[in-house]
Amino acid sequence: IERIELEWKPTTTLGELGAIDLTGSRKTTIRVVDFTDSRKHPNIIGKNVEDIDDDGDGVITITTQTKINNWLKQQVTTTMRQMGAKIDQNAGQTRLSAEIQRFHVTEGQTYKSDVALIFTLRNQAGVVLWEGLSSGSATRFGRSLSDENYSEVLSDAVLEAVHGLLSQPGFRSALAKAA
């Protein structure tokens, strides 16, 4: 088992992800609330399969002490703000929560990340306005068992997932209607 400290290290720029039409949805403020981790092993974030043999031996499990739910909440909040969403952590008109479905890297010839989040948007009374899955992935070359490479591909996958969330017409429509 290898243990890494997860850091925010995207290599993708927001401009590379493309424009997002936020028409109408910027009238509503969002408060990002709880992120829950529904994965079976929340401390496992990846596996190295470079030296796997025919019997399946040689897999190195990659873990972290970083609380993924808190780390993701912080990164999603910051990224949404950078992408133009109106975030108000004190008095948002809507509440956005997420359930972590996947947050994982497979390291072989390359680093391949897979992040999937089920987002739920509620009004102040707790009524669900919208719910949906947004996911992201990234692939990078890098040196074996590198903390930095794990952080980079996971950060890039989170950027893609947030871009996907803000690009979903149903999410934007629910925000516009909540104003």
Q: What is the pLDDT along the chain (179 residues), one digit of tens a residue?
A: 689 999 999 999 998 999 998 888 888 999 999 999 999 999 999 999 998 787 878 899 999 999 999 999 999 999 999 999 999 999 889 999 999 999 999 999 999 999 999 999 999 999 999 999 999 999 999 989 999 999 999 999 999 999 999 999 999 999 999 98
Tally the residues of the chain. 179
Instruction: State the Cα torsion 11-14-16-21 to the nearest 10°.
Output: 160
Which residue(s) pair with 103 in the sheet?
A: 115
Output the CA–CA distances (angstroms, integers) from residue 157 to 16, 128, 136, 175, in the order listed: 13, 26, 4, 24
The 10 Å Cβ neighbour count of residue 50 is: 12
How many CB atoms within 10 Å of residue 112? Answer: 17
pTM (2 d.p.): 0.94
Cα-flanking dihedrals φ and ψ of residue 168, to 5°?
A: -75, 120
- What is the CA angle 37-40-41, rounded to 5? 85
Contact indicator for 85, 166 with CB cutoff of 8 Å? yes
C-alpha 140/C-alpha 146 separation (Å) is 12
Q: Are 106 and 47 in contact (CB under 8 A)?
A: yes
pLDDT at position 1 is 67
- Can you tell me which residue has the tokens 């929560």? 97
Burial (CB < 10 A; 0-12, 13-18, 19+), residue 177, is: middle
Number of Cβ within 10 Å of residue 131's Cβ equals 15
CA pair distance 137, 144, nearest whole angstrom: 19
